[in-house]
Amino acid sequence: MNARLRRLYADYQQLRDDFAGHPYIDVEPLYGNPPEAYQITYRVRGLALNARTNRPVVRTEHRAKIYLHRDYPRQKPKCVLETPIFHPNFGAYICIDDYWAAGETLSDIIIQIGQMIQYQSYNPKSPLNPVAARWAIQNEHVFPIGKAELYQPEIDIELVSQVGGGEHIEEEIDIELI
């Protein structure tokens, strides 16, 4: 099996593990075995431009597609948002240049796009949408638009140990799942 196929299989497994039951993100493979394209649904607050008033309004569901072309992972995946958005770094494609390296995981890119949608992360100095970039600079006091934490939370596990004559000692330990 070549390196690209190994990477595609590893990405697929990691996406299944990372996003199963995720409260804000659904990941659906579209085609290929292993998948070479995914549809991502984000249920987070972002902005879209109201065509009637030409003003930004809150939108709470966004759909993106990620295509893993033949040069992936040497080159970044092609990421496209399919729902309307008003954001400096979204246009005909999603600008992930600031965040992409061949060692970057697909899960991290999906999280990064979700953070960008919420204006937790944006770059008005490298815009695909200059109007949104100017607006973002003038209105940065309203950011972030959404505050959803997209990385899965740590799980608190309570360990109960039994000592000698039936005594119980309880100790809480924070464990980060990796």
Q: Where are the domains of the chain?
A: 3-153
pLDDT for res 152: 75
Which CATH superfamily hosts domain 3-153?
A: Ubiquitin Conjugating Enzyme (3.10.110.10)
Residue 132 predicted with pLDDT over 90 = yes
Residue 174 predicted with pLDDT over 60 = no
pLDDT for res 126: 86
User: Each residue of 64-94: pLDDT tens digit?
Assistant: 999 999 999 888 999 999 999 999 999 999 9
Residue 119 backbone zone (phi > 0: left; psi -120 to 50: alpha; other: beta): left
User: Each residue of 46-67: pLDDT tens digit?
Assistant: 999 998 999 999 999 999 999 9
pTM of the model: 0.83
User: Which whole-number Å values give the CA distances from 15 to 6, 40, 78, in the listed order?
Assistant: 14, 11, 17
Residues 6 or more apart whose CB falls under 8 angstroms from that of 135 comprise 56, 86
Residue 166 predicted with pLDDT over 70 = no
First to last CA, the chain: 27
What's the mean per-residue pLDDT of the chain? 87
How far is it, in rounded angstroms, from Cα 97 to Cα 56?
Answer: 25
